Amino acid sequence: MTTTASSVASTPPTVGRVSGVLSHRWVRFGIRRLGRLLMSLAVLVTASFLMIHLIPGDPVRGALGPTAPTALVEARREALGLNDPLFVQYWHYLQGLFTGDLGTSLTSQLPVADIVSQRLPATLTLAMLGFLVSVAVAVPLGVLMGVVTRRGRGRRSELAFTTTSVVLGTIPDFLIGVGLVYVFGVSLQWLPVAGNATADAYVLPVLALAIGPAAILSRIFRVEMVAVLEADFVRTARAKRLPSRSIYLGHALPNALTAGLTICGLLLGSLVAGTVLVENVFAWPGLGRTIVASILSKDYPVVQAIVLVYGVGVLLANTVVDVALALLDPRSMIAED
């Protein structure tokens, strides 16, 4: 960002032209990225709207059960607007989204918006903590392993690290969760395994969520670090006889980070979805438990809303990372063309 700022400020014609191209490039990048976000949002909204119509049979009859009186089912259908033509329903759905009205729960009769806003913070906290912990572990670990295994050194540590991280990265978070519950809850009885009432109740769910992404990320950062340490500018830094700390942290690390960031975005997205299972292992009072309970009780308006929230979360995570990447490394904008 400073890059553009300084070149915009400069007056010589050549640099001015460069800044013109740059800002033009920024505008194009912004439009393209925004366009993609809006397109994906439109698909997401339409899919969540259509969900209730794609279910075979009458969703209201399904929710209320075969014994419910026909009059009640009909009244519910009318209240939900399911008897209107499809495009009218779609219009009302969009209107509702823009005014914050997500409908009413079929089972509890509470506004869906209230249910979501009540449950969202717990899920968001879990996802963010999981993400922060995985990055906080992965970056130092990846950098350290990169330094240790640079230029084909430390083959044994490389093999051990890669094997461990591949295995840990493949184990799904809910199985890690079960393992953590057994070890730290049942056997050692060190930490609580349910709810989020106390601070120590956060430890196991966050770990369950973070271990897999941390393993994958640290592997990527190691590879990036090894590649960066081969770069000419690292040789320059060594030719300047800088201390190792300065070479690794000052020169190599910033360049290794930009490349790992793309993967961070993808992981953040899958981490959002991963909370569903982890919440169910640890009885976490978030959206994940609500969506499963709602699917089982066929409370479709709630399911629709939560799917939408997760989808938006994923899309925003991807967009934020794309923009952050463009700010850190302007070359990534051009690569997209």
Residues numbered 198 to 257 that lie near another protein (CB under 8 A) are: 231-233, 235-243, 246, 250-251, 254-255
Q: Are 230 and 254 in contact (CB under 8 A)?
A: no
Task: State the DSSP string of 166-232.
Answer: HHHHHS-HHHHHHHHIIIIIIIS--S--S-SSSGGGGHHHHHHHHHHHHHHHHHHHHHHHHHHHTSH
- Residue 104: beta bridge partners? 111
User: Is 147 an interacting residue with respect to another protein (CB under 8 A)?
Assistant: no
Pick 69 or 152: Cβ nearer another protein: 152
Q: How far is the CB of 2 from another protein (least distance, A)?
A: 8
User: Is 323 an interacting residue with respect to another protein (CB under 8 A)?
Assistant: no
Pick 58 or 75: Cβ nearer another protein: 58
User: Is 67 an interacting residue with respect to another protein (CB under 8 A)?
Assistant: no
Q: How far is the CB of 82 from another protein (least distance, A)?
A: 16
Q: Choose the stretch contacting another protein; rule: CB under 8 A; options: 101-109, 110-118, 140-148, 287-295.
A: 287-295
User: Is 56 an interacting residue with respect to another protein (CB under 8 A)?
Assistant: yes
User: Is 112 an interacting residue with respect to another protein (CB under 8 A)?
Assistant: no
Q: How far is the CB of 24 from another protein (least distance, A)?
A: 17
- Angle, CA 272 vertex, CA 104 and CA 296 arms, to 5°: 45
User: Is 315 an interacting residue with respect to another protein (CB under 8 A)?
Assistant: yes
220 vs 260: CA distance, rounded Å: 6
User: Is 270 an interacting residue with respect to another protein (CB under 8 A)?
Assistant: yes
Report how far apart, in Å, the C-alpha atoms of 132 and of each of 173, 267, 268, 333 are.
16, 11, 10, 26
